[in-house]
Amino acid sequence: MSAASDCPLCRPEAHEATTTRVAGHAQLRVVRVLDAPGFPAYYRVIWNDHVAELTDLSSSDRARCLDAVCTVERVLRNGASPTKVNLASLGNVVPHLHWHVIARFDWDSHFPQPIWGTAQRPPDPARLAALNGALTRIDDAMAKALT
Amino acid sequence: MSAASDCPLCRPEAHEATTTRVAGHAQLRVVRVLDAPGFPAYYRVIWNDHVAELTDLSSSDRARCLDAVCTVERVLRNGASPTKVNLASLGNVVPHLHWHVIARFDWDSHFPQPIWGTAQRPPDPARLAALNGALTRIDDAMAKALT
């Protein structure tokens, strides 16, 4: 397995405080993001090897990675009925292949802007609390679907 | 083919002024985005049928769509040597499956922020002109790779 000594995604313990692990195997892991409180149903699919771009993977590895992204999307759609799912592989800050998979809602603070854009309205505490209450069930379904 | 009467991506002529068509076939088309001048090497892979989410596609259609995304990424890497390629399927404004594939550079106005984030510096006219000068060659290589 290739790793880079200065890469935080090569050291899972480096992001333990800001994510919770949902599932994983030798090639990839799925975590839920804890430090974006306006977007509770926010997951990341992290490829374990240190590669920067999707096209650095072989076609079979790429299919495996994207199958996991789709599984996360499917569980989010079933468990949270989002207005839209946002998928993104950016990696400008940490160039180690990881996918953001985010359930978006027409009531969330930034919709229809990307979560990296400008807030459109204040957060909605009641709806956020309801969504937070569904996360354990979603995490469990995701772990099951990813095994 | 399914289409929605109020969807701009179901009417290719609705975005002729802001994009240029690079390649396409019955299932998808690839366009270059013209209305993001700070990011000249910005392409979109648009699925022709009106579906909202990646997981609305069958697994073979999904593979075909993502193969095109990877082809665009590969041609961008070869032709523009970006610092990073950004991939995103958002669709909050237009919920019709389309992928943003954007060559990002450490000198661009927003790097390392997503293009939807906050500008980090002024645009660099000389480097933008050089990149603009490479686009015809990149478009041609992309059209060839996508046939």
Strands laid side by side in the B19-24 sheet:
A19-24, A28-33, A42-47, A98-104, A84-89, B84-89, B98-104, B42-47, B28-33, B19-24
Residue B5: per-residue pLDDT? 85
B88 touches chain A (CB under 8 A): yes
Residue pLDDT, tens place only, B9-18: 998 787 778 9
Closest residue to A86, CB basis, from B70, B84, B90 = B90
> Quick one: what percent of chain B has pLDDT higher than 90?
90
Residues in chain A with CB shorter than 8 Å from the CB of B53 are 73, 77, 84-85
Residues in chain A with CB shorter than 8 Å from the CB of B69 are 54
Q: d(Cα A53, Cα A96) in Å, to the nearest integer?
A: 7
- Which token pair is B67? 């193969």
Higher pLDDT, B82 or A11: B82
Query: How many residue pairs bridge chain A and chain B with CB atoms within 8 Å of each other?
Result: 93
| DSSP state letter for A13 | G
Residue pLDDT, tens place only, B51-88: 999 999 999 999 999 999 999 999 999 999 999 999 99
Amino acid at B75: V
Would the pTM count as exceeding 0.90? Answer: yes
Name the A residues in 38-57 with CB < 8 Å from any B CB. Answer: 52-55
Task: For chain B, state the CA radius of gyration.
Answer: 15
| DSSP state letter for A10 | G
| DSSP state letter for B9 | G
Residue pLDDT, tens place only, A18-60: 999 999 999 999 999 999 999 999 999 999 999 999 999 999 9
Q: How many CA atoms lie within 13 A of A140 on its CB side?
A: 5
Residue B2: per-residue pLDDT? 78
A8 touches chain B (CB under 8 A): no
Closest residue to A73, CB basis, from B53, B85, B117 = B53
Per-residue CA distances from B12 to A130, A139, B30 (Å): 39, 39, 11
Residue pLDDT, tens place only, A110-141: 999 999 999 999 999 999 999 999 999 999 99
Residue A29, min C-alpha distance to chain B (Å): 19
A119 touches chain B (CB under 8 A): no
Task: Please tell me whether residue B56 adopts helix, strand or coil conformation.
Answer: helix
A117 touches chain B (CB under 8 A): yes
Mean pLDDT along residues B121-142: 98
**Backbone angles phi and psi of A22, in degrees to 5:** -105, -40
CB contact under 8 A, B114 and A66: no
ipTM of the complex: 0.97
**Are the C-beta atoms of residues A22 and A136 closer than 8 Å to each other?**
no
**Number of neighbours of residue A56 by Cβ within 10 angstroms:** 15
Closest CA to A25 of A1, A42, A8: A1
The secondary structure element, H or E, covering residue A137 is: helix A135-146
- Counting other chains too, the contacts that A6-14 makes at CB distance below 8 Å and 24 or more residues apart are A7/A50, A7/A94, A7/A96, A8/A94, A8/A96, A9/A46, A9/A50, A9/A94, A9/A96, A9/A98, A10/A50, A10/A96
The secondary structure element, H or E, covering residue A57 is: none
Class of domain A8-146: alpha beta
Residue B17: per-residue pLDDT? 87
Closest-CA residue of chain A to B105 = A92
Residues in chain B with CB shorter than 8 Å from the CB of A112 are 92-93
CB contact under 8 A, A62 and B84: no
Residue A1: per-residue pLDDT? 61
B140 pLDDT higher than 70: yes
Residue B1: per-residue pLDDT? 62
Segments of chain A assigned E as strands: 19-24, 28-33, 42-47, 84-89, 98-104
**Backbone angles phi and psi of B28, in degrees to 5:** -150, 165
Residue A34: per-residue pLDDT? 97
Which of A44, A69, A84, A92 to mutate against chain B (most B CBs within 10 Å)? A92
Residue pLDDT, tens place only, B110-127: 999 999 999 999 999 999
Amino acid at B50: H
**Are the C-beta atoms of residues B14 and B8 closer than 8 Å to each other?**
yes
B1 touches chain A (CB under 8 A): no
A121 touches chain B (CB under 8 A): no
Residue pLDDT, tens place only, B94-114: 999 999 999 999 999 999 999
Residue A13: per-residue pLDDT? 81
Residues in chain B with CB shorter than 8 Å from the CB of A88 are 86-90, 114
Whether the upstream peptide bond of residue B125 has omega within 30° of 0, thus cis, is no
CB contact under 8 A, A92 and B70: no
